[in-house]
Amino acid sequence: MPRAGLAVASGLLLLGVVFAGDSFWVAAAAVLVAGAALVAGLLGVLPLPPGPTSRSGHWAWAFVASLVGLAVWSGASIGWSIGADRSWDELNRGLVYASFALLGVMLAASGGSRGCRLAAALVTLAFGAALVWALAGKVDPSLFPDGGRAARLRDPIGYWNALALAADAVLVLSLWLATSRTLVRPARLGGAILGYAAVVAVLLTVSRAGLLAALLGVALWLFLSERRLQRAIVTLAIVLPAFGVAGWAFTQEGLVEDGAAYAVRVADGRWFGLVFLLGAQLVALAVSAVERYRPDERTRLRLGRALAGITIVVALAAAGAVAAAGNPLESGNAVGQDPTRLGDVGLNNRGELWREAWRIFRADPVIGSGAGTFEIARKRHRSDASSASEPHDVPLQFLAVVAAAAAGAVGALRRLADAERAAAAALAVVPAAYLLHALVDYDWDFPAVTGPTMLAAGALAGAGRGSAPAVRRPFAAAAVVTLALGILLAVATPWLAERSIRQVNRELDRGDLAAAAEAAERARSLNPLSLEAILRQAAVEERRRDADAAREGYAKAVRLQPENPDAWYFLGLYEHDVGSLCQAYVHLNEAYTLDPNSLRWFPGGPLDRARDRVNTPGSC
């Protein structure tokens, strides 16, 4: 029963993170479920993986330790960070992801000889539910009221490229289900139809990185699998109808055009639902025919050679198209949002973001600017007013995590056999596709895809390693409880502070300055590193017409984050508004130095007026 409870809790957690994403409640649940599982193992209720000193359990714990180490490094960077509140958020994010990884390791230990199959089924369930909901939103636009604003498929995760990555995982896991010898025929057909839905979803996200990761993920899965020819034919039976349905969808205004009228979206959505069902029936018929097909050895060789030849031709054609398109890193190589982007090799502004990240690294290659502070640090280097929270690439400090995850996956494939190895081969593609996709995107910021990926990698690291002898360790269990409560407190306090900041804004709108001041003070006490909390507290004092307290509040923001242009800007803007233009110029000019390409600087704006006052003889 405890093992079943762990599986149910893990499944519910995965569904929660896919649909709720970056939510405090999901983060808290991850910490609590992982902590409870580890405590149960230490008390002998659940099996524990072999200890970190044992040869068989080394990589399982090494993977979890690498994530914990990354989180600790993010926390340590608070000491020198140019945005300490953001570094605190990165610490919390790393600890939550480590919780998912630990949960994967515990699932592998508790699942015994079925650990990988259990983890693969849970990840398929969570990501598959997200894809079904996303496609349902195309059929019924009322599910996503803002679906016409941006037509690319993105809900429930909220970002099309992240949803495409989830679809990549579902595709390979569904192919594993569709070709499994241990499942009954209805389950195999269900897997095939889910894989078909995944391909349609990838194409409707219009994500080029997602499409490339899907192609390479399927290739990796075939390489790691047995019965490659049959599985390749099943893959074609699933993929070809999906391309046909998506190709038709690309011609429908209500499905792919941003800002399409609601009536058009409704009409095209109904047709999409019908065409999608017809495609699903075609997939079921094709997969059933493939299952019944038994070619002789000579025919198998011919089919294998034909598929290899087609693969080579397609790869050469793709390479030629990329070479003919020119340098994708050229600045200004913007890419549209419609389906034609699938034929464009431009990287939007990623090349510029990578160059900015390199300049930031060169400025301080040893300790950097602090975890999670790219958005602040890049403002000094950016060439326009575009915003970006991450450089759309995996930072170098993730290499330890990648190495530990890769070692765990390779070890699982070597140790396991038969049905469990087949599940491990499919599950191993999930972190591999994530890594490939993360080279050009910022998937780390999306718990909806990173959490399940860490669980998959943890399950691989712990698969087939057996379990440690059942020994009760009450003192270790008490230490884990204390640690889990500490992590929960670290995650909760910034969230509570953010709630208080939102309350400040509501109270200011209502004109209740006393309640606003109380909420601002509470936000400051909960998160003393928050720049937003101190700025809102200063704004409250400004509304209360306490000039000294307001100016001191804005000055505290500058002292808190002296390399953040926002702190200098709001101090200078306050001084401008109260008529202290000479002081305003000093501080606004500092903000300009830190962020020269901001839209805040316009002709006749506060900086120009302050500069004019300074340039007037005798005014300062």
pLDDT at 553: 93
pLDDT at 322: 45
Cis peptide before 156 (omega within 30 of 0): yes
Give DSSP secondary structure letters for 575-615.
HHHTT-HHHHHHHHHHHHHH-TT-TT--TTSHHHHHHHHHH
pLDDT at 22: 87
Q: Is the pLDDT of residue 355 over 70?
A: no
Q: Is the pLDDT of residue 543 over 80?
A: yes
Contact of 258 with 151, CB cutoff 8 Å: yes
Residue ranges per structural domain of the chain: 2-293+395-462, 491-615
Looking at per-residue confidence, does 193 or 183 come out higher? 193
Q: Is the pLDDT of residue 88 over 80?
A: yes
Each residue's pLDDT tens digit, 578-597: 888 889 899 999 999 998 88
Q: Is the pLDDT of residue 200 over 60?
A: yes
Q: Please report which confidence band the pLDDT of residue 82 belongs to, taking 50, 70 and 90 as the band edges.
A: confident
Mean residue pLDDT of the chain comes to 84
Give DSSP secondary structure letters for 206-218.
T-HHHHHHHHHHH
- Report which listed range, 139-153, 349-363, 524-538, 597-611, is most confident: 524-538
pLDDT at 100: 97
Percent of the chain with pLDDT over 70: 82
Average pLDDT over residues 485-509: 94
Looking at per-residue confidence, does 438 or 532 come out higher? 532
* CB burial of residue 425 (10 Å; 0-12, 13-18, 19+): buried
Contact of 57 with 49, CB cutoff 8 Å: yes
Q: Is the pLDDT of residue 334 over 60?
A: no
3-state secondary structure 120-172: HHHHHHHHHHHHHHHHHHHHCHHHCCCCCCCCCCCCCCCCHHHHHHHHHHHHH
Q: Please report which confidence band the pLDDT of residue 290 belongs to, taking 50, 70 and 90 as the band edges.
A: confident
Of the candidates 569, 546, 564, 563, which has an alpha carbon nearest to the alpha carbon of residue 554? 569
pLDDT at 342: 60
pLDDT at 361: 60
Least confident of 66-80, 114-128, 304-318: 304-318
Say which residue the tokens 């969230």 belong to: 495
Give DSSP secondary structure letters for 79-98.
GT-SSHHHHHHHHHHHHHHH
Give DSSP secondary structure letters for 231-262.
HHHHHHHHHHHHHHHHHHHTT-HHHH-TT--H
Average pLDDT over residues 301-328: 56
Count of C-beta atoms within a 10 Å radius of residue 299: 12
Each residue's pLDDT tens digit, 395-453: 555 666 777 777 777 877 888 888 889 899 999 999 999 988 887 778 888 999 999 99
pLDDT at 244: 93
Looking at per-residue confidence, does 324 or 285 come out higher? 285
Q: How far apart are CA 402 and CA 348, in angstroms?
A: 26
pLDDT at 332: 47
pLDDT at 360: 60
Q: How far apart are CA 596 and CA 226, in angstroms?
A: 58
Q: Please report which confidence band the pLDDT of residue 329 belongs to, taking 50, 70 and 90 as the band edges.
A: very low
pLDDT at 484: 94
* CB burial of residue 618 (10 Å; 0-12, 13-18, 19+): exposed
Q: Please report which confidence band the pLDDT of residue 107 belongs to, taking 50, 70 and 90 as the band edges.
A: very high
Q: How far apart are CA 318 and CA 560, in angstroms?
A: 51
Least confident of 122-131, 170-179, 377-386: 377-386
Average pLDDT over residues 348-364: 61
* CATH tag for 491-615 (out of 1.25.40.10, 1.10.150.650, 1.10.357.10, 1.10.760.10): 1.25.40.10
Q: Kindly report the pTM of this predicted structure.
A: 0.89
Least confident of 98-102, 134-138, 439-443: 439-443
Each residue's pLDDT tens digit, 598-610: 889 989 899 889 8
Looking at per-residue confidence, does 273 or 329 come out higher? 273
